[in-house]
Amino acid sequence: MNRAEIKEKAKKIIDGKLWVIWKPILLTALISAFLVFLLNKVFVVAYSYEVLSINGTSFAIDLSNTIITFIMTPISVGYVFYILKLVRGKEPSINDIFSKMKYFFPIWAVTFIASVLIGVGFMVLIFPGVIISMMLAMVEYIMADGETNVLKVLKKSKDMMNGYKWDLFVFGLSFLGWIFLGIITFGMAFIYITPYMNVSYALYYEELKKKHNKD
C-alpha cells in the first residue's frame, strides 16, 4: 500500500473542505453532549451496575454511557459513510450521518462483538489486542458501504486485512508527528489534522477494497 500517496491525496481532498468535514463532527458532538445532559441531569441514570465478578474483580456497566454508545454507534457509521462519499467525489449531506440508523441493531452487534474480541485480546497480552484491532479495523467502513450481516462484516474485515495488519499499524504510526503537533498547539492544529486523518483512513479503505476485489 502506498501510504505516502494516500496521504497526499487526502491533503488534496480536504483542501478548502475543512468545514464540510467538520460539520458532521460538530453535530455529532452536540448530539452526544445533549444525550449526556438528558440522561445525567434530567433522567439521572448515570450509575453503574455490577454485572460480573471474577476472583474478586468486579465488572460494572455504566447505564448512561451504554445508552449513549448504543445511540451514537450508528451515527458514527453514518459519519464514515459521509466521508466515503466525499472521497468518492460525491456531495455528502449532513443527513448522511443519520442514514444508518435503520441498521441500528446489526451495527451495534458488530461493534459489541468487535469490542469484546479486542478487549479479550488486550487482556491476554498487548500484542494479540493490537492484531485483533487491526484485523477488525474495517468493520465501520464495511457497514457504511451497506453490509448489514454481522458475521459477513467481521469476516470481510478479517479477509481484507489479511497481509495488511502491519501496514495499517505503520500507517497509523505515521500520524504521530501530526498528533504531537496538535498537542503542542493546544488542539488548534486538530482543525486540520482531524479531517486529514479521517480522509486518509477512508482512502486507505478504498485502496484496500480495490486490492481485495481483485483477489
Which H or E run contains 50?
Answer: strand 48-54
Do 199 and 21 touch, CB atoms closer than 8 A?
A: yes
As given in the structure block, the three cell numbers for residue 144 are 457504511
pLDDT at position 60 is 47
pLDDT at position 131 is 93
What number of CA atoms fall less than 13 Å from residue 214's CA on the CB side? 6
pLDDT at position 51 is 45
pLDDT at position 127 is 84
pLDDT at position 50 is 46
Give the span between the Cα atoms of 196 and 18, in whole angstroms: 9
Which H or E run contains 69?
Answer: helix 63-87
pLDDT at position 41 is 66
pLDDT at position 62 is 62
**Could you give phi then psi for residue 69, rounded to 5 degrees?**
-60, -40
User: pLDDT tens string for the chain (215 positions)?
Assistant: 788 999 999 999 999 999 999 999 999 999 988 888 877 765 555 454 444 444 444 444 566 677 788 889 999 999 999 999 999 999 999 999 999 999 989 999 999 999 889 988 888 778 888 999 999 999 999 999 999 999 999 999 999 999 999 999 999 999 999 999 999 999 999 999 999 999 999 999 999 998 887 76
pLDDT at position 58 is 45
Per-residue buried b or exposed e for 101-128, using 16+ beta carbons within 10 Å of the residue's own CB:
eebeebbbbbbebbeebbeebeeeeeee
Q: Indicate the domain borders of the chain.
A: 3-214
- Assign 215 to helix, strand or coil: coil
pLDDT at position 54 is 43
